[in-house]
Amino acid sequence: MTTTDLPSSVPYRELTDRNGRVYRVGESDIDIMGRKRKWMVILPWVGMMGISSAEYAFASAEDALHDAHHWSSGSIYWMLTVWVFFQAAVAFPAGRLRESGKLPARYAMVIGACGTLCGYLSLAYAPHVTLAFLGFGVFSGMGAGMVYATCVNMVGKWYPERKGGKTGFVNGGFAYGSVPFVFLFTTVMDVSNYEVILVSVGVFLAAMVAVAGYFFRDPPKNWWPAQIDPLNPPDDPRARRALQKNPPAVHQYSPGEAWRTGRVALMWFCLACTSGVNIFGISFQVDIGEHAGFAGGIVATAMSLKAVVNGTGRGVIGWLSDLYGRKQCLLAVCVILGLAQFGILWSAEQKILPLFLIFSAISGFGGGAIFPMFAAMTADYFGENNNATNYGMVYSSKLVSGLGAGMGSLVVGAWGLSGAFILAGCISFFAGIVALFLSPPGRPKSGAIKPNPQPLGEEMA
């Protein structure tokens, strides 16, 4: 047992607010794990970067994989679809295991690291495309889902008072961590070196995930920072504004209770639509750029720019959502993502390279920003104690949205790239209309924290 596994011996109090929600206060982050809680932002960020290239750089490896293994483009796109399916499918069961204590965070990260390595080894050595589907699509997808669910939910537990910016920063690693590999797979990898490159990348990324995960530690249930008053508006202006715009859940909802509020279904549908548009854009950005006649290096630059803005945009929108509210920012993101699809199509048809790069970046921003919005909103609506499971229900929408790659290829075949990008833009607009109906359960629309004259219950442990 390491020092980070030892329970805190510092006395704490449990305060109960007017809604019956319990807050555990008195223990600092250092009391609990021997280090500042900022490490539970930095380390999950590193872990997220370790799994990002499997989704965001995979399309860049299409030509090399096709030439090396003679796999069809359709098979490669569906391989990404299978990866996304299993990455989303594992979120809910992994969350249940995590919150029951049966799957410690560090073990989840080690499993994810093994899946990451398995995926790259299968892409390098699979003698048949079926084994690649199994190794990359299934095992790597499940491993990535384990890492994603662990990293994203870790942040909200340690920063319950202002989770938007922190969650967005960590979530961003899932996109811009792929940038060097987009260039590597596009401009360096070919049939003469693909095995060495894929194996080297797999070993490096798996080590990143495993080493970062070794130092993970969850706070106790109901933990709240000792320096922030949970019952009255806090003195810290950042925390005060974040809690006014995004008040904490009225109590800790179980998955069944969260589902019965009806909000999970709405969030599930919105995320399915917007993340489907995001995955479609990732999959067909290269194709529409090449169709417009842009050079391969330019298309790789566009994809890298998309990934960078996709990642940094997650942190920016998370920070903005702390200032202006999660729902308001979500609505803006849906509109931005939809408009970007029309912009990419128009600039490609007109062969205007600067605008193609700009709209690619805007699409990356919108496609990335949706994820921290829903991750933070889930904790805002339903609490932190069961967030891994509750967000797992919402995130399972990627089981459907993952079809953005495979189904996108069918739509492109039937309607062409123009019809597919127009449809993607309209879907994003429709998701914004549905998001108008989201509101925190059990709380008046004003939502702001009001002073609590005295705690309804208080207990010293």
Q: Tell me: the pLDDT tens digits for 281-313? A: 777 776 777 777 776 666 667 767 777 787 888
Q: What residue ranges do the domains of the chain occupy?
A: 25-227+235-242+254-443
Could you read off the pLDDT of 18-41 as tens digits, one per residue?
878 889 998 999 999 989 999 999
Residue 425: Cβ-neighbour burial (10 angstroms; 0-12, 13-18, 19+): buried
* Token output for 72: 């069809």
The model's confidence at residue 253, banded by pLDDT at 50, 70 and 90, is very high
* Token output for 387: 């967030």
Q: In this structure, what DSSP letter does residue 289 have?
A: H
C-alpha 25/C-alpha 19 separation (Å) is 17
Chain length of the chain: 461
SS3 14: strand
Could you read off the pLDDT of 177-233 as tens digits, one per residue?
888 888 888 888 888 898 999 999 999 999 999 999 999 999 999 999 988 888 887
- Please give the distance of CA 151 from its chain centroid, rounded to a whole number: 9
Q: In this structure, what DSSP letter does residue 15 have?
A: E
Across the chain, mean pLDDT equals: 85
Q: Count the neighbouring beta carbons within 10 Å of the beta carbon of residue 150.
A: 30
- Nearest-CA neighbor of 440 among 244, 167, 198? 244
Q: What are the angstrom distances between the C-alpha of 74 and each of 59, 108, 124, 408, 410?
A: 12, 32, 18, 10, 9
pLDDT of residue 68: 87
Q: Which helix (H) or strand (E) holds 269?
A: helix 263-291
Residue 355: Cβ-neighbour burial (10 angstroms; 0-12, 13-18, 19+): middle
Q: In this structure, what DSSP letter does residue 90 have?
A: T
Residue corresponding to tokens 């993970």: 216
**Amino acid at the residue 410:** L
Calculate mean pLDDT across residues 70-91: 85
Residues 6+ apart with CB under 8 A from 267: 374, 377, 378, 394, 438
Cα dihedral sign for 127, 128, 131, 132? Answer: positive
SS3 23: strand
C-alpha 446/C-alpha 461 separation (Å) is 34
Any bridge partners for residue 457, and if so which?
Answer: 16
C-alpha 115/C-alpha 128 separation (Å) is 19
pLDDT of residue 408: 66
- Helices (H), ranges, 126-262: 129-132, 141-158, 163-176, 179-183, 194-214, 237-245, 255-260
Could you read off the pLDDT of 356-407 as tens digits, one per residue?
888 888 888 888 888 888 999 999 999 988 888 999 999 888 888 766 666 6
C-alpha 461/C-alpha 456 separation (Å) is 17
Instruction: Tell which wins on pLDDT, 51 or 410.
Output: 51
Could you read off the pLDDT of 126-139 as tens digits, one per residue?
989 999 999 999 99
* Token output for 309: 């803005």
Any bridge partners for residue 25, and if so which?
Answer: 13
SS3 content of the chain, % helix, strand, coil (to 5): 70, 5, 25
Residues 6+ apart with CB under 8 A from 225: 25, 28, 29, 160, 161
SS3 389: helix
Cα dihedral sign for 61, 64, 68, 69? Answer: positive
Q: Which one is the CATH code of 25-227+235-242+254-443: 1.20.1250.20, 3.40.50.740, 3.40.50.620, 3.40.630.10?
A: 1.20.1250.20
Any bridge partners for residue 22, and if so which?
Answer: 16
Please determine, for residue 9, whether its predicted confidence score (pLDDT) is greater than 70. Answer: no
C-alpha 135/C-alpha 117 separation (Å) is 9
Residues 6+ apart with CB under 8 A from 238: 162, 322
Please determine, for residue 73, whether its predicted confidence score (pLDDT) is greater than 80. Answer: no
Could you read off the pLDDT of 315-328 as tens digits, one per residue?
888 889 988 999 99
Residue corresponding to tokens 């609490």: 383
Instruction: Tell which wins on pLDDT, 406 or 254.
Output: 254
